[in-house]
Structure 1
Amino acid sequence: MVATFSAQQAPSQAPGPSWLSSRPARRSGAQARKNSKALELIQGSLSSRKVERQSPWLAGFHRAADGTLVGLGICMLALSGLTLHWQNQWGHQYQQLENSQSLEQRMQESAAVLEQHHLGVVKRPGQLVPTNSENLVYLQAPQSDPKKQATALLSAIQLAPIPPGY
């Protein structure tokens, strides 16, 4: 919309909203009430009910977008919490791994020190050989009947009368 003004018709107010004009506007009580009613109208025009009546597909799309954003926000918070939990668990597991590695190193050192001590104490050092995997002998556990063990255990129990007072 284009408005043309002649030199004789000076507009009382520039076209467009009042907040764009360069002059400060005086506000009287009636004008302030009029502006507050205008704000109420603006707020009412942006209500969801009116938008839903005018274009229901847009209101439905808006609801779907809001639901999607809320769902994604909740998922993001849940995944952030799980990530922090898993990082904490990983840190504890890594610390336990480092502790077990240091304990293994200390155990190997103490076994070496004991071995050297025993080799030095023995009068005939040729009898003892350093321990390695080739010198180990693996034996299988003896096969035993669990019924025989149970009867042997029960026969070992002696039932005697309990003296009074105990």
Structure 2
Amino acid sequence: MRTFKLIQGSLLAGRVTRRSTQLVSIHCFMDITLLVAASLVAVLAGLTLHWQHRWTVAFDRLESTRIQAYRLTESTAVMEQHWLRNTTQPVNLVPTRAINLVHIRHPASAEQPSPKVSISLFLSHLVSQRLRSGY
């Protein structure tokens, strides 16, 4: 019980107030300063947790975007390999080198006048042609 009386007696500011007003004002100032510091620590901890969560969400989105881009590249490669396996080279192609190629100059446009074709003749020619399937 004696400890309780000691603590209780020290918390009573009546005697201290009468003796030293400056000590009481410094004590009140320190109490307010400690409360402000504790509240600032709590606010900063909350902001830190908030921005850490935002960073984690953004990083997860970045990872999912990278995974999707990788899967798209992989599936495109698989499709290209399948298409290349099913295509064949024409029989009339012959392997050659660059030195065996012959360069033919483009004819001058002034020597050959372009023939004038009527639109109706061109459309009738288009309609009469058979459409080829595929690309």
TM-score range, shorter chain: 0.5 to 0.7
Decide whether aligned partners of structure 1 residues 124 and 49 sit closer, same or farther in structure 2, where only a CA change above 3 A counts. Answer: farther
Q: TM-score, normalised by structure 2?
A: 0.55
2:16 paired residue number: 51
Is structure 2 residue 56 aligned with structure 1 residue 91?
yes
Query: Deviations for 1:20-77, whole angstroms, at most 9, x for unmatched residues?
Result: xxxxxxxxxxxxxxxxxxx59x946752233222111111110110001000111111
Mark the CA change 1:122 to 1:60 in structure 2 (over 3 Å): closer, same or farther: same
User: Any stretches of 5+ residues in structure 1 without a counterpart?
Assistant: 1-18, 20-38, 127-166
- Structure number with the bigger relative contact order (C-alpha 8 A, sep ≥ 6) is 2
Flag as ranges the 4+ runs of structure 1 deviating above 3 A.
Answer: 42-46
Q: Distance in 1 between matches of 2:75 and 2:65?
A: 15
Per the alignment, residue 70 of structure 1 pairs with 35
Alpha carbons of structure 1 residues 45 and 102: separation in structure 2 relative to 1, 3 Å:
closer
1:95-152: CA deviation from partner (whole Å, max 9, x where unpaired): 11211111111111011111112222233389xxxxxxxxxxxxxxxxxxxxxxxxxx
In structure 1, what residue type is equivalent to 2:87? V
**Residue identity matched to 1:68:** T
Q: Please identify, of 86-95 and 62-71, the stretch whose mean Cα deviation from structure 2 is larger.
A: 86-95
Q: Which runs of 5+ in 2 are unaligned?
A: 94-135
Partner of 1:113: 78
1:122 aligns with 2:87: yes
Distance apart, 1:85 and its partner CA: 1.4
Query: By percentage of residues, which structure has more helix?
Result: 2
TM-score, normalising length: structure 1: 0.45
Deviation for aligned residue 1:81: 1.3
Name the CA distance, whole Å, in 1 between partners of 2:84 and 2:11: 94
Query: 2:47 pairs with 66, 69, 82, which one?
Result: 82
